[in-house]
Amino acid sequence: MAKQAVRATDGSRPGINDDIGEEKRLTLYRLQVEIRESEQRAFDLFLQNLVKGTSHLSLGQEAVAAGFAAAMKPGDLSFCTYRGHAHTLARGVPIEKVLGELMQRDNGLMRGKGGSMHLTSAEHGVMGSYAIIGAHLPIACGAALRAQYKGDGDVTVCFFGDGTTNIGAFHEALNFAKVWKLPVIFVCENNLYMEYTPIADVTAVEHPAADRAAAYGLERIVIDGNDADAVYRAAMTAYERARAGGGPSLIECMTYRHSGHSRADPAKYRPEGELERWKERDPIKIYRERLKQFGIADEVITKIDADVRRRVDEATEKCKAAPPPPLDILTTDVYADGGFAWRN
């Protein structure tokens, strides 16, 4: 897969036919813009009080989601955290379904029963978004164990933040995955803050994930998480390793969130100028320049931007028009029989 076949392009685009190629690069760009526009829309809808509850945006972290999703095959599984809108969208889940869930409408992914922190779309391989820090790393191990046991050939990826590296389940899962050589990829999105606190203030090592890798017999991998090409290449290497029976990988992606931890957080704890410096390294800005370097025409880029905006607008209008969930789903799907009966 690394040598992605691409359509022949003319000689005015030197280097475009490298291991990533034009088609994949346009996909990487589109995915990042989709996430950016959808997340920005979610934020705007908050301000209009149309998104309720909490929400954790991935503004500024789009390259990680896009890079991994572009490296996946159908059937590969994703496990996300409460900051999971990006990874859900990147697997091809319709924007309307995601915004509908955030707006607690009947057209939402889970009809409002899960909410922003629990986006799930099994048909797209999104096996849940988990809001208890660290919980999904062992669960991802189990999905990978099934793949290994049944010889299914799929690979499981598990995304989490830097804060997760200090909870026990992280360490249990890494050891477990290595001992059983499971086809699972652990992806740490290091955005420098565990909620409101700099991760460096509360962690014994500089790189909270990568510097722990050696303890579990894993390679130390730190990549530029704002460069979708770097993410994609690291993802491809890890997928190839997992599919070849080489076991788990742990990848630390350096990135930065442009907004606060959650809806309630204005992020005033950040040192002056930090956000601005990181915005210079905005993944979408980087990638737009990359496409231009490769000779992709402005009109192609502008058309992608416009298409995405139109789709986000359409999704928003559909969600605004969608009814809330019917009250009778309050008690459905507690048990496999569809109901909630605990007695006869």
Partner 1 sequence: MAELTYRDAVARGIAQEMTRDPDVIFFGEDVAKAGGVFKTTVGLYEQFGPKRVRDCPISEQAILGAAMGAAMTGLKPIAEIMFSDFFAVCFDYIANEFPKSRYMSNGQLKCPLVVRTGNGAGSRFGAQHSQSVENWAMMIPGLKVVAPSTPRDVIGLLAAAVRDPDPVIFFEHKSLYPTKGDVPDGEIVDRLGTASIVRPGKDATILALALMVPRALAAAEALKAEHGIDCEVIDVRSLVPLDTQTILGSVARTHRLFTVEENPRLCGWGAEIVSIVADEAFYDLDGPPVRITTPHIPLPAADILEDIALPTAERIVDRVRRSMQG
Residues in contact with partner 1 by CB under 8 A are 77, 109-111, 113-115, 118, 120-123, 127-128, 130, 132, 134-147, 149-150, 156, 168-169, 172-173, 175-176, 179-180, 329, 332-336, 338, 340-344
> Smallest distance from the beta carbon of 277 to partner 1, in angstroms?
37
Whose Cβ is closer to partner 1: residue 54's or residue 175's? 175
How far apart, in whole angstroms, are the C-alpha atoms of residue 160 and residue 143?
16
Whose Cβ is closer to partner 1: residue 98's or residue 301's? 98
Whose Cβ is closer to partner 1: residue 110's or residue 275's? 110
Whose Cβ is closer to partner 1: residue 108's or residue 225's? 108
> Smallest distance from the beta carbon of 154 to partner 1, in angstroms?
9
CB 339 within 8 A of CB 332: yes
How far apart, in whole angstroms, are the C-alpha atoms of residue 16 and residue 291?
9
Q: Please, which residues have CB within 8 angstroms of residue 224's CB and are 6 or more apart in sequence?
A: 230, 231, 253, 254
> Smallest distance from the beta carbon of 131 to partner 1, in angstroms?
8
> Smallest distance from the beta carbon of 134 to partner 1, in angstroms?
8
> Smallest distance from the beta carbon of 122 to partner 1, in angstroms?
4
Cα separations in angstroms, 282 against 170, 333, 337: 29, 41, 47
How far apart, in whole angstroms, are the C-alpha atoms of residue 238 and residue 148?
16
Whose Cβ is closer to partner 1: residue 201's or residue 342's? 342
Whose Cβ is closer to partner 1: residue 140's or residue 223's? 140
Residue 35, classed as helix, strand or coil, is: helix
> Smallest distance from the beta carbon of 82 to partner 1, in angstroms?
12
Whose Cβ is closer to partner 1: residue 119's or residue 284's? 119
Helix (H) or strand (E) holding 258: none
Which tokens is 200 given? Answer: 């460096």
How far apart, in whole angstroms, are the C-alpha atoms of residue 283 and residue 290?
10
> Smallest distance from the beta carbon of 231 to partner 1, in angstroms?
24
How far apart, in whole angstroms, are the C-alpha atoms of residue 173 and residue 297?
45
**β partners of residue 187:** 159, 251
